[in-house]
Amino acid sequence: EVHLVESGGGLVQPGGSLRLSCAASGFTFSDTWMTWVRQAPGKGLEWVADIKGDGSARHYVDSLKGRFTVSRDNSKNSLYLQMNNLRAEDTAVYYCARNLGYHRLESWGQGALVTVSS
């Protein structure tokens, strides 16, 4: 059974940094594209970033390029999202998802809440 568990969320001040992790199990992680999606409180879903199975390709939503970095460690079956220079508008639940191609997001974690506030 596929299992995705996010961690690392919490309260951070504006301008601060945070790294989210996503532990994966139940599938061949290194062969699989992974995706981060976020959802601000009471708002819709927003695609954040994708990373290819071997880490050789990464794609980001234009508005976050330069502040957010997606990475992975296939030896640990883990996905990461490094978030720098955080702003209030980055407050959201961040989900990791298994991407079976062209954003067919077949499995999702439970989400990690990130709150940016002073």
Partner 1 sequence: QSALTQPPSASGSPGQSVTISCTGTSSDVGGYNHVSWYQQHPGKAPKVMIYEVNKRPSGVPDRFSGSKSGNTASLTVSGLQAEDEADYYCVSYAASNDALFGGGTKLTVL
* Closest listed residue to residue 111, CA positions, set 64, 62, 41: 41
Contact status: 59 vs partner 1 (CB under 8 A): yes
What is the dihedral sign for C-alpha 82, 87, 90, 94? Answer: positive
Binding pattern for the stretch 33-52 against partner 1, x by CB under 8 A and - elsewhere? --x-x------xxxx--x--
- Which stretch in 17-25, 57-65, 70-78, 79-87 sits in contact with partner 1 by CB under 8 A? 57-65
Token couple for 7:
């961690």
Closest distance of CB 15 from partner 1, Å: 26
CB atoms within 10 A of CB 47: 16
Here the tokens at position 50 are 């994708």
**Distances 68 to 22, 48, 80 between C-alpha atoms, Å:** 15, 9, 10
Asked if 62 touches partner 1 (CB under 8 A), the answer is: yes
Tokens representing residue 32 in the block: 């699989």
Q: Judge whether 33 and 101 are in contact, CB under 8 Å.
A: yes
Return the residue of 21, 77, 91, 108 that touches partner 1, per CB under 8 A.
108
The reply to whether 103 sits near partner 1 by the rule CB under 8 A is yes
| From 74, 105, 113, 115, residue interacting with partner 1 (rule: CB under 8 A) | 105
Interface ranges with partner 1 (CB under 8 A): 35, 37, 44-47, 50, 59, 61-62, 95, 100, 102-106, 108-111
